[in-house]
Amino acid sequence: MSDAGAGSSHGGSQGGGGSQGEGQQVDPGRKYGTIVNNNANHWKCIFCYKVLTAGVSRLKQHLVGGYKNAKKCPICPEHVRVELQTYMARKVEERVALSMQYQPVVNEDDVEDLDGDDEPMRKATKRKHCGPLDKFVMSTPPDILKGRKDRKGVFGACDKDLRDKVCGAIARWFFDVGLPFNAVSHDSFKEMTKIIGQYGMGLKPPSQYELRFPLLQREVANVQALLAPNREEWAVKGCSIMSDGWRDSVVQKDIVNFLVNSPKGSVFIRSKEVSEVVKDATMLFKLLDDMVEEVGEKNVVQVVIDNASNYVKTGKLLEAKRPHLFWTPCAAHCLDLMLEDIGKIAAVKTAMKKCMFINAYIYCCVSLVNMMRRFTDQRNLH
């Protein structure tokens, strides 16, 4: 009974496509070839009469061109190539979508009717019964590599157009929200695009609520988990709290960043706006004292802050409350103040003005810049 059904299917294919059953699309590759000697694996091209093995898949590769296993048909019309290339590309997209969903047991006959690809792809598609949780599991690396190889082979030149559309959509989003262009070099951006590609079609983007609450809270928990080894190090070897004050000239606000340094490295804890209290040593002391409480007084060895007058008073207040802590002025800030004082000396101030004028003059002319770099071993003036 099964053999008779198979023979009927092959006979119909030979006649120019045949009936594939209701609900299934006819493989257009069958229209441009004929079966040789009733062997479904041997097809003859109707344009150049070349006989190809490995089924209708090899015939389509022969007609489309660009495959190592099949020589391109020299007289195949362009509209036929476009038709077959579009069909093959759509089948790859359907296979990717199906691979992300629940897949029942399939046999080789079903796979052949679905796509008509050659034996390696049938073996890759044929798999055991998948449970409902399998769609949440990432594909194994060999499957991912095979999918990428198939995509390149099927899409060919069309793949460049598809990538251009995707990159154009990403670029428009960057322009709309005003993101800096160097954001694409972040590892998190590359990871995001990779995971979106693995998800496939039909991804529902996160809502504002998801970003504001559950996803943000989840990321905070992830960061806290990353900090756990550092906190353990603080308890064993001690740590230093570092305060870095600066002014945001764009929004005209004074900001203080708090970091913790230990032999395991430096980590950022939080940032505080201190525009209203930057001159108030008592309020700055309260902020610093709260940081000591958060990190743990027994874990803190010293506190490093600026040595401006308000911060000096803050450090003394902290030492008075916690006698075992050391207040250390920031060495970089000390050097900045020293250089500022040196720059106020008349002779140095005059020399600095001349240097700044010469520097501006050189960088206004490309030929002078090239000449300067030739004598400075390709180094710029700072």
Q: Is residue 210 assigned to a domain?
A: no
| Rg of the Cα atoms in the chain | 35
User: 32 with 150, same domain?
Assistant: yes
pLDDT in tens, 360-378: 999 898 899 989 988 888 8
| Tokens of residue 271, six digits | 């940032």
Range of the domain at 261: 230-337
Do 125 and 32 have their domain in common? Answer: yes
Cut 0.75: pTM above it: no
The Cα–Cα gap between 322 and 292 comes to 10
φ and ψ of 202, to 5 deg = 85, 20
Quick one: 329 and 352 in the same domain?
A: no
Question: Checking DSSP bridges between strand 39-45 and strand 33-36, what pairing results, if any?
Answer: antiparallel
> Tens of pLDDT along 226-266?
999 999 999 999 999 999 888 888 888 999 999 999 999 99
> Mutual orientation of helices 141-155 and 78-99 as an angle, nearest 10°?
160
Q: Which of 190, 205, 220 is the last residue of a domain?
A: 205
> Mean pLDDT for the chain?
80
Q: Please give the full DSSP string across 231-251, using - where no structure is assigned.
A: HHHHHHH-EEEEEEEEEETTT
Higher pLDDT, 157 or 40: 40
Q: Are residues 136 and 171 in the same domain?
A: no
* Contact in structure between 319 and 344 (CB atoms under 8 Å): no
Q: Is the pLDDT of residue 59 over 70?
A: yes
Instruction: HSE, CB side, 13 Å, CA atoms: give it for residue 186.
Output: 10
Residues 31, 107, single domain; the answer is yes
Tell me, yes or no, whether 224 lies in a domain: no
| Domain assignment present for 214 | no
Q: Do 14 and 122 fall into the same domain?
A: yes
Question: Is 220 a domain residue?
Answer: no
In a domain, 217, yes or no: no
What's the CATH code of the domain at 237?
3.30.420.60
Task: State which H helix or E strand residue 200 sits in.
Answer: none
Residues 120 and 164 in one domain: no
For residue 161, give Cα distances in angstroms to 80, 149, 164: 20, 17, 5
Total of domains in the chain: 4
Describe the strand order of the beta sheet including 253-262 as a list of residue ranges: 265-273, 253-262, 239-248, 300-305, 326-329
In a domain, 216, yes or no: no
The total of other beta-carbon atoms located within 10 Å of residue 74's CB is: 9
